[in-house]
């Protein structure tokens, strides 16, 4: 992914209010992000832990999507699978994120949701740059996994934009 400025990121959001975008906290360590290893920029807001952001380069532009999740009550056991990168995690390391739809549908309260790595670091998992504690069984090389991630991410973005 090509590096972005904070201002470019703020202008990219399609499903947020101006006040929410203004209150957004940039990702921790923004100036040291490994841009060359990112298929999209994803992070949880340190000031609002149930809020996250996905920023994607597509069709020559940038699309930002605000997502929300809810903290789960008691700890759960088992394995969960991220719908974007297909990385298996402990179930507590995968979260159901909901995104308000863009435009009129979003203003009417319509949302779409999907299970995503709780830390929104899919790009790092598929490249082996961040460890997972669950055996993967995935044998596809990182480039193939990145292509699959891009296709799934595009589907999710299109669901938000419709």
Is the Cβ–Cβ distance between 11 and 157 less than 8 Å? no
pLDDT (mean) for 127-155: 89
Give 78's pLDDT tier (boundaries 50, 70, 90). Answer: confident
Contact 32, 47 (CB under 8 A): no
CA–CA gap between residue 63 and residue 11 (Å, rounded): 9
Per-residue confidence (pLDDT) for residue 18, from 0 to 100 = 94
What percentage of residues in the chain have a pLDDT greater than 90?
83
Quick one: pLDDT at residue 73?
Answer: 59
Q: Which residue has the tokens 């298996």?
A: 88
Condensed to tens digits (0 to 9), the pLDDT of residues 34-62 reads: 999 999 999 999 999 899 999 999 987 99
**Residue 135 has what pLDDT?**
74
Q: Residue 36: what pLDDT?
A: 96
Mode of pairing for the β-strands spanning 88-90 and 94-100: unpaired
pLDDT digits (tens, 9 = 90+) for 121-139: 999 999 999 988 877 767 8
Residue 62 contacts residue 55 (beta carbons within 8 Å): yes
d(CA 98, CA 51): 10
Inter-residue contact 54 to 64 (CB < 8 Å): yes
Boundaries of every domain in the chain: 6-161
Q: Which residue has tokens 């999710």?
A: 156
- Residues 67 and 99: beta-carbon distance below 8 Å: yes
* CB-count exposure of residue 104 (10 Å: 0-12, 13-18, 19+): exposed
């Amino acid at each position: 992914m090509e590096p972005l400025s904070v201002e470019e990121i703020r202008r990219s959001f399609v499903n947020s209010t101006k006040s929410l975008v203004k209150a957004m906290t940039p990702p921790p360590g923004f100036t040291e992000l490994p841009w060359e290893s990112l298929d999209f920029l994803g992070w949880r807001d340190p000031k609002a832990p149930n809020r996250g952001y996905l920023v994607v380069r597509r069709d020559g532009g940038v699309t930002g999507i605000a997502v929300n999740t809810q903290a789960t009550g008691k700890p759960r056991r088992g394995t969960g699978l991220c719908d974007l990168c297909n990385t298996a995690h402990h179930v507590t390391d995968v979260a159901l994120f909901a995104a308000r739809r863009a435009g009129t549908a979003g203003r009417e309260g319509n949302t779409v949701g999907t299970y995503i790595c709780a830390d929104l670091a899919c790009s790092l998992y598929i490249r082996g740059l961040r460890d997972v504690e669950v055996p993967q069984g995935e044998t596809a090389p990182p480039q193939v996994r990145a292509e699959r991630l891009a296709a799934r991410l595009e589907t999710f973005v299109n669901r938000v934009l419709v």
